Structure 1
Amino acid sequence: MHFCYLLCPFLIKFPGFTSFFIFSFVLMAWLTFFFYPSLYGQVTENSTGTSAPEIVFEESLPRLDPSSPPQFIPGKGLFLGEITEKEMGIQIEAAVEKEIAPLYFGESQVYRASWEKTSEQSGQKEGFAYSTSFIDAKDSEKLNVGQRVLVKSKQGNSEATYEGKIFFIDKELIPVIGKAELILQIADPKQSLQAGDWINFETSLGLVATWVTVPESAVLYTASGCFSYLFLGHGRYLRKPVEVAFVSQGIAAIKKGIEKGQKVVTHGAKQLWLLELSLSQSGGPSTY
């Protein structure tokens, strides 16, 4: 561009070159430089001094109206119209963080009622019933004496609940039968539990920790692994592999695959999976 300014004094010396001609020549050179910088061996740069990024055109996604038939694009997911979503009864929830621990469920038999007298040497107390059960050695390592236990007992047509705790864990039997004896202490002031009664109990198996959680219904267990369907908006659903750490009281703790705040399908995930299989095998859109 600088050569235009160097050329101007030379052009003025020739009477045939008018001021209008010189002005037009310089203007054309400047416009050429502005619109075609590559002709001068230069590349335009943005405000940060870096080369302008190339524009990548992605595959356009389907534009759906309410009555659009379901479509499946490999790598992009399923695309459903509003009518299909309603027919399938799709329900969605966002993944949230919760403090949760896996639960241990067991069955135990009462061997001492709360009204029976006890000796001081045993450490057992009146007003408490005691039960025994045998648990796997690995599970016994995750339980602790004094840990809270919720006990349930069927009494006729109803179910009674009791508060209890782990009274003792005897691991001496592990080398012989591969199990440990678990003794529970159950508060029973009404003396309703009798020796020989069977009870169900539950307690935390390990420490409480913060996990990303989703309802258990959002997880699909298939021969190919565990999956969940993410809702990405505008009728788009993407199947995502997930790793489940454990399930506790209908809540799945997610180890990998789902982030906090992502929306997952909690009702209709199985139908989406069957629909995806149908569309992927047929190789085209299909009505549902």
Structure 2
Amino acid sequence: MVAVHSTARGPALGGCRMWTYDDARAAVRDVLRLSRAMTFKAAVAGLPLGGGKGVIMLRPDEPPLSPERREAVLQDFGDTVEALGGDYLTAEDVGTGEPDMEVIAGRTSHVTGLATGSGDPSPWTAIGCEVAVRATLERVFGTGDPSGRRIAVIGLGSVGGRLAELLHEGGAELVVADVDQSKRELAERLGATWTDPLSAMTAEVDLVAPCALGGVLNDETVPALRCKAIAGAANNQLADDSLEAQIAERGILWAPDFVCNAGGIINICVELEPSGYDPARAETNVRVVGDSLRTIFDSAAATGTTPLTAALALGQERLRG
């Protein structure tokens, strides 16, 4: 399934997620919510793109896809993308990678992030998220230097794992968690404390960086938070937008996720420029994530609102043109 939320600023760009859902309704809710987040991610970043998302639904009671079946499913998805005539541009996301995009590209030209273009966007998402973490630390503690700060990173996939490495290089003391036990090897290499995701979320740290799936800030976890700030790469971190007010009431600064994780889409946008892809230009553009967050934090403080309200207002302003 593909959801196109907005094409007001340009074609709707959003990754293709291959994930297990209990039923089709859950998959539809996910693709709709993710497509909306992509609209605001692109708008706040000032990109000439709209928001969309793709989901390939796997079922919990079915065995893993065989290579042949996976290829057929991806080809079907490619046909779906092609049917939209360029209103939706796809890319890799959770559960898909560059080889999958190559298969999809066999059925449609509306594919980004291929090896011949900007490639895997996850390293750029991690760079942007690290910049966001520094901007959030700066707002809370007066300095963005992560050295000596205790930071929890939840989810050590292609984005979270690289973010943890960048923060380690910056001198942070890490608490890390992942449902994949093989990630303990990375934790050991970084000298990080390994724990489970819920314990990491509620650990006594300076900042929590959610980098796995969404909904982790919910009625169970928000009252148990013991951090001063939250800035991570996971999409849709809030189980409900109203929870941000509860987080703010507890004196915790939450950096809107669709701003923190915009590095990947910013990088892909460089690929779409007439002059072609340039990694140096991509990095310069990705690092503007920090300035976007500072603008949002300033606006929230000036108007007495929350960062989410300020970020959505900025996005809506840019959508109106």
Quick one: higher RCO (CA 8 Å, sep 6+), 1 or 2?
1
* TM value normalised by structure 2: 0.17
| Greater strand fraction, Structure 1 or Structure 2 | 1
* TM value normalised by structure 1: 0.18
| Greater helix fraction, Structure 1 or Structure 2 | 2
> Which structure is larger by alpha-carbon Rg, 1 or 2?
1
